[in-house]
Homo-oligomer: A and B are copies of this chain.
């Protein structure tokens, strides 16, 4: 079996179908003659191209299997033009169901016991819940049980958000920098020491931090930092074995470590709340997020979140309470996924969870990447609500007075990161037959949200104009750990 390079870095089990030229015209200069397989090889876990109608089912079965089994990834099946347009009298059977559920595995029990001992002996333990926990069939349930029983302090990576609730009593995500920096033992549950976790290296981590790690991918252990106890296996199944073996033990919340984390979290929380409470207009990011946070607290919503500051701040301001309720730009920070994700989420909700709502929160730059998907959403009458946190630029926009100054000659080069000032994106949605509102205050956002979600057909865009110079709350460390830092 071939498992392809890089292809599982982002972990989306996606099956793409291509359509090259008729194979018999290859080499002649056919319409869209191209080596599609080669072009996508590096991005895909598996790539193939059926050569006859009767081999298509086996190719599709294998593609779907590769996308879903092991660590998930994208796959690609190229159907050349001649197959697309051929028919056959012959009966072609398809394996059913395609494919069967992924097989799972667990670490040997001795390793699990070793992991438990390492956790018990930790002075400053920290649990980090990652994306892998979200992909495991029983991951969320088992992570929640483990956190409840072990009483360990924990936080989540962006991809692990929602596996357990951010409102959980021992969630200390607000003390993230401190927690990473001082933990003596880290329990990675489907999380990796890549850039998001600053490679697990000093100064962001202790030099001799002990690592206990559950992962489905054997090559992922010892990445950048030695893994003290590697637990190879499915996360849900592994925790299902591990948690009961904790026995009566639970972490003592009265320790200095836990207290320090709590205090730091509370301090950071207060700093945020100060910004949240500042309702002066034009609004800052945190204030704009306040009515959204309030809405989410009381509803079952799939959140699609995309942008730079908008996504970074959104992770904090939109606590994840439920599994599989958050989609964002992922490990690669890929812009342009927002409205497409929303479309897929709305179709899923319509068929599988009619009470679940779909909310997109995007920066204005991020919105622009996939805004035209609104036409599709409108055409299918899907009740997607999009809030654009619109600061008229990327990272920051022009101040209104600056904008006026150059108004006389807008053909002059504008700063490359600024977008149209107070652009009326909500009118796009109106043009496509949906609703659109422009808002500038907290009450307006709140009212607009409520109204939008009362609607059950077609999209709404809420264009929330905020200050062009709003920023993230000051951070101790830069988000991106670089080679020279």
| Partner-B contacts on A (CB < 8 A) | 1-9, 21-35, 37-39, 41-43, 46-52, 55, 58-59, 61-62, 65-66, 69-71, 81-82, 85, 95, 99-100, 102-108, 111, 192-195, 199, 217-224, 226-227, 230-233, 237, 332-333, 350, 368-369, 371-372, 375, 378-382, 409-411, 414, 419-420, 423-428, 430-433, 457, 480, 482-484
Residue of B whose beta carbon sits closest to that of A367: B372
Provide the main secondary structure of the chain A interface: loop
9 shortest interchain CB distances as A-B pairs = A29-B194, A427-B431, A24-B483, A381-B410, A103-B230, A105-B105, A103-B232, A22-B483, A70-B218
Which residues on B sit within 8 Å (CB–CB) of A48?
26-27
Q: Is A37 in contact with B38, judged by CB distance below 8 angstroms? A: yes
| Bound Cα distance from A428 to B378, whole angstroms | 15
Give the docked Cα–Cα distance between A473 and B195 (Å): 54
Q: How far is the CB of A14 from chain B (nearest CB, A)?
A: 16
In the bound assembly, the distance between CA atoms of A384 and B287 in angstroms comes to: 38
Residue pair B105, A28 in contact (C-beta under 8 Å):
no
Q: Is the CB–CB distance between A420 and B379 below 8 Å?
A: yes
CB closest residue in chain B, given A346: B411
Give Cα A65–Cα B108 distance, bound, in whole angstroms: 20
Q: Which residues of B contact A482 (CB under 8 A)?
A: 22, 25, 81-82, 85
Once A23-B51, A224-B28, A432-B420 are accepted as A-B contacts, the answer to whether A411 and B381 lie under 8 Å apart by CB is yes
Q: What CA separation (Å) do A480 and B70 show in the bound complex?
A: 30
Docked complex Cα distance between A71 and B34 (Å)? 18
Contacts of A368 in B (CB 8 A): 372, 375
A381 cross-chain contacts in B, Cβ below 8 A:
409-411
**Are B380 and A411 neighbours in the complex by a CB distance under 8 Å?**
yes
Asked if residues A218 and B103 are in contact (CB atoms below 8 Å), the reply is yes
User: Could you list 10 A-B pairs, sorted by A, with CB under 8 Å?
Assistant: A2-B9, A3-B4, A3-B219, A27-B48, A27-B59, A28-B199, A65-B219, A95-B226, A105-B233, A381-B409
**Chain B neighbourhood of A428, CB < 8 A:** 427-428, 431
Q: A1-B71, A6-B35, A378-B420 are in contact. List 15 more A-B contacts (CB 8 A).
A: A1-B8, A2-B5, A3-B5, A5-B47, A27-B55, A32-B332, A35-B42, A66-B219, A70-B218, A100-B227, A105-B106, A379-B419, A382-B411, A410-B457, A424-B432
Distance of A247 Cα from B48 Cα, bound (Å): 45
Are A237 and B108 in touch, CB under 8 angstroms?
yes
Contact partner, A25, options B95, B195, B233, B350, Cβ 8 Å: B195
Q: Which of chain B's residues have a CB closer than 8 A to the CB of A46? A: 5, 219
Given contacts A29-B223, A30-B194, A103-B221, contact A411 B350 (CB under 8 A): yes
Determine if A483 and B82 form an interchain contact, defined as CB atoms under 8 angstroms apart: yes
CB of B218 within 8 A of CB of A102, answer yes
Closest to A378 in B: B420
A30 and B100 contact, Cβ closer than 8 Å, known pairs A105-B108, A217-B70, A423-B432: no
Within the complex, what minimum Cβ distance (angstroms) separates A388 from chain B? 12
* Residues of B contacting A65 in the complex (Cβ-Cβ under 8 angstroms): 219, 221-222
Residue in contact with A107 in the complex, picked from B39, B104, B223, B379, CB distance below 8 Å: B104
Whether B55 contacts A221 by the Cβ 8 Å rule is: no
B2 close to A223 (CB less than 8 A):
no
Report how far A65 CA is from B223 CA in the complex, Å: 9
CB-contact partner of A2 in B7, B47, B106, B233, under 8 A: B7
Q: Is A35 touching B32 in the complex (CB atoms < 8 A)?
A: no
Cα separation A81 to B483 with both chains bound (whole Å): 10
Q: Which residue of B lies closest to A36 (CB)?
A: B42
Closest to A59 in B: B27
Q: Are B104 and A232 in contact (CB under 8 A)?
A: yes
Instruction: Return the chain B residue nearest A77 by Cβ.
Output: B27
Partner of A61, one of B7, B42, B58, B222: B222
